[in-house]
Amino acid sequence: MNRLKGKRALITGGTSGIGLETARQFLAEGARVSVTGSNPKTLEAASAALGPDVPIIKADAGDVAAQKRVAEELRQSFGGLDILFVNAGIGEFRPVEAWDETAFDRSFAINVKGPYFLIQALLPLFANPAAIVLNTSINAHIGMPMSSIYAATKAALSSFIRTLSGELIGRGIRVNAVSPGPIATPLHGKIGMDDAAVKGLIAQIPAGRRGDPSEIAKAVVFLASDEAAFTVGSELTIDGGMSTL
């Protein structure tokens, strides 16, 4: 239970779902943790759930200037950083003809641009060694209807795993990713899926169920820990077999 003892970690989108569960598991493994979020209700709930020793940073994940402020707040709180879990993101699912430029730009800002410039802003703070874990998605690898923009943003993160690994490994920074399938988080409700839609989704998963946030969090703990010291540029698929169909 001490795989992350003494390590300083930042989790973006850490106030609900996978991010919040990962924060809990990081704390249980001995890490000092800070999380970001933008929803006042989940920020308050996360503060209550994680306790007073976890700095909660309100930040727009798609705003480049906000990423610099996050880095500065983290510098003041922790002085440096050993682990970054890039988890903040949005999922919008529409047919091709329903997309407009504003929605397109919003998805890429939150899922791609913000994370990229957050990594840039944090570079002076990273220890050697350090670990970055990106939250991608199996949608980057399967042809799911209405996921064109979401899948494209996650494919960009998948590309970052390899390109940033090549660039940052010399600084002792490992970059890896988890690639979840359908997970039982508030996301499915946010995008308007009713019970029938969820059942239809589950029917496509060989394991016969959606994943639990804890199953993703445990994989993130491994990739962030020294146990994964020789794991570089890898994407761990956790989808109950969905992408094998």
Q: Which residues are annotated as catalytic? A: 150
Contact by Cβ (8 Å): 114, 62: yes
Give residue 30's region: left, alpha or beta (phi > 0; psi -120 to 50): left
- Return the residue matching tokens 């913000």: 114
Residue closest to 37 by CA, chosen among 77, 18, 210, 218: 18
Q: At 179, list the tokens.
A: 């690639």
Q: How far apart are CA 241 and CA 244, in angstroms?
A: 5
Element (H, E) at 5: none
Q: How far apart are CA 11 and CA 88, in angstroms?
A: 8
Q: At 31, list the tokens.
A: 């890490």
CA distance from start to end of the chain: 36
Letter string b/e over residues 196-206, b meaning 16 or more CB atoms within 10 A of that residue's CB: eeeeebbeebe
Taken as a whole, the chain contains a residue count of 245
Q: How far is CA 55 from the centre of its chain?
A: 18
